[in-house]
Chains A and B, each alone.
Chain A
Amino acid sequence: MSILDIRNLNVRFATQDGEVSAVNDVSLSLERGECLGIVGESGSGKSQTFMAGMGLLAANGRPTGKVLFDGKNLIGADEDTFNAVRGDRMSMIFQDPMTSLTPHMRVGRQLGEVLIRHRGVSEAEARAQSLTMLKRVQIPEAERRLDMYPHELSGGLRQRVMIAMALMCSPELIIADEPTTALDVTVQAQILDILRDVKERLNTAVILITHDLGVIAGLADRVAVMYAGRIVEVGDVRSIFADPRHPYTRGLLACTPRLDEAGAGLMTTISGQPPNLQRLPSGCSFHPRCAHVTDRCKTERPLLEVVGPSRAKACFVDVKAA
């Protein structure tokens, strides 16, 4: 059974200016030990999809559909159900390690709390295990760090503490939401190495949410590309990068500057801007920015269709590899 199975998930937010459709009819599944990369720009719904699954939507958010975690639907579940699962069988790593750690609690207590809550271990045992975990995520002078407050740590160390906390109960699923976006590139490389190690050694399933295609290329097994709250393309990481079939995926790859290629002249761009989620375009949401647009795209919405082994895309046009 898949560890995570999302079926026809929708997330709507009620705002003063009307309803915002953040996630539209998203279906995804994830096997144990697999890493699924979720790529998209701001407002594409990549975070909200999983916030819904963790029961962490803002108060005005309303999810419909199903999020099956190990077969059990979490949409509409009560707080007790979520609290039993979160931090134990699945945990989350957020983008900003400063605002997601409690500022007035020492690192050791924050880490240990997870074990005391979920496993009922003693304080001394929790501290010992916290120390082991800090060493595993390569925090130097781990013993001393246990008694420090988050503000005494650098950004890279804080993110390691976040990862250590997520790993405390050996979860089956980790959701990493832009885990390295706030970090410098040399520290990003260290953090990605730790995540890779966790995935390979502990067989933990990982959802890696990011806007950085380079991060996806290094870690993910499969990729889902999101645009305006929908999945527009999904497939195996190598085939997506080698042969993107959706015009948006192609555009994203083409307009990402690459370190391994000398820049020549102007960059390839995607014209226009991401759509307003309150007034989504008719038909395919990407059609106003698409170079391959046809009349059909303007009126009819393409569904996610299988286009090859482990590949699916939501587009009427057959874009051939250049």
Chain B
Amino acid sequence: MAQSLLQVRDLKVYFPVRTGGVLFGEYTALKAVDGISFDLKSGETLGVVGESGCGKSTLGRAVLQLVPVTAGAVSWLGSDLTQQDKAEIKKCRQELQIVFQDPLASLDPRMTAGDIIAEPLRNYFPQMSSDERKAKVQDIMAKVGLLPAMVNRYPHEFSGGQCQRIGIARAMILRPKLIVCDEPVSALDVSIRAQVINLLMDLQKTFNLSLIFISHDLAVVRHISHRVMVMYLGRVMELAERESLYRTPRHPYTQALLAAVPIPDPDKERAKKRLILTGDPPSPLSPPSGCVFRTRCGKADDTCTSATPVLDAASSGHEVACHHWRNI
């Protein structure tokens, strides 16, 4: 078994939000991430799924120390990033990169593709000669499927898929060990989405990359992930190996999520059992007591109101946070 690169323990990210008026209002803690733990091995992809507002993006950013962490530990190769100063974190960021959702908004419109991709090199290796830098930029452009002739173009001259390739090249140029992909294909058309997913899988194989792949698209996550974490209101509902999660989902929320995804096959789609959740997720400012999912759950009873379920190992490597998983 490969060694864990990343260990996240009981991670909490709370944002202070003012409720009420400016003068007499009070700050309430919005618990975006509330006690999450997981490990990530070298060359592994962890898929993180959940609906909007479940804290999946905040989790990705907290791992990279891009948002202030309220409590908990993020150990990268054994050292806790939450305890380090800015200079040490900057050093670690060579190995920790991110790809964002909106491919155009995440590129500086006044920089050329070449300058954007070279910026991390200028940042971390200011003494590198410009010839060497150029060679590295050309090399990574070829690896992500961009023509070297495009080096002097500006972001607006590229399509969405190409912009995302530039974002991936920028993340890859320092040869990182981990990339957090925050909805990297959600803004792309179907035919381009498959190309970018293949590129990420290719790069992972070539460079033994670890990926945290954040997405709301359960079908894409099934394709790319080794393990999958299902989040709801800042908490982990279920965490399991890919096939175990998709074949035998244990948590009522995972089951409802999977049932809600339309299948591109008219016969299967129309015949499938409907398991429709009612309502919307509650506000993260005032989450329900006990199990946060209980207000939309068909199996909820008094236990769920009074006690918060903890992650329980249903089988090897398959953890589920539900009081009633044995009876579902």
Residues of A whose CB lies within 8 Å of any CB of B are 41-42, 140, 154-157, 184-190, 192-193, 211-218, 237-238, 241, 251-253, 255-260, 262-263, 266-271, 273-274, 289
Contacts and interface: CB of A to CB of B under 8 A. Distances in A.
Nearest to A223: B266
Interface residues of B, number: 48
Nearest to B279: A140
B66 interface: no
A258 B269 CA distance: 12
B132 interface: no
Contacts of B219: 256-259
Contacts of B263: 214, 217, 258-260
A189 B197 CA distance: 26
7 tightest A-B contacts by CB?
A: A214-B262, A263-B223, A213-B264, A255-B194, A41-B189, A184-B51, A270-B191
Contact of A274 (B189, B194, B280): B189
B137 to A, nearest CB: 22
Interface string B229-266: 00000000000000100100000000011111111111
Nearest to A218: B269
Interface string B180-222: 0000000001111111011001100000000000001111101
Interface in B111-139: none
B286 to A, nearest CB: 14
Contact of B267 (A186, A238, A263, A269): A238
A187 to B, nearest CB: 7
Contacts of B281: 184
Nearest to B217: A257
Contact of A187 (B159, B246, B280): B280
B277 interface: yes
B52 interface: yes
A260 B261 CA distance: 10
Given A184-B281, A189-B262, A217-B269, 5 more contacts: A188-B262, A190-B276, A218-B269, A255-B191, A257-B222
B224 interface: yes
B262 A217 contact: yes
A259 B258 contact: yes
9 contacts: A189-B277, A211-B189, A241-B266, A255-B190, A258-B265, A259-B246, A260-B268, A263-B222, A269-B198
Contacts, number: 132
Interface string B158-190: 010110000000000000000000000000011
Contacts of A213: 190, 264
Contacts of B270: 217-218
A216 B269 CA distance: 10
Contacts of B202: 266
B278 interface: yes
A214 B269 contact: yes
Given A192-B262, A241-B265, A186 B51 contact: yes
A143 B202 CA distance: 54
B216 A267 contact: no
B223 A257 contact: yes
Contact of B266 (A140, A189, A212, A217): A217
B264 A189 contact: no
A253 B194 CA distance: 11
A65 to B, nearest CB: 26
Contacts of B51: 184-187
A258 to B, nearest CB: 6
Nearest to A154: B280
Given A42-B189, A253-B264, A262 B243 contact: yes
B189 A184 contact: no
B246 A262 contact: yes
A155 B216 CA distance: 16
Nearest to A240: B266
Interface string B297-327: 0000000000000000000000000000000
A260 B265 contact: yes
A154 B282 CA distance: 10
A263 to B, nearest CB: 3
Of B198, B217, B243, B264, most buried by chain A (CB within 10 Å of CB) is B264
A188 B11 CA distance: 31
A211 B190 contact: yes
A184 B296 CA distance: 15
A298 to B, nearest CB: 20
A260 B197 CA distance: 18
Nearest to B264: A213
Contacts of B191: 41, 251-252, 255, 269-270, 274, 289
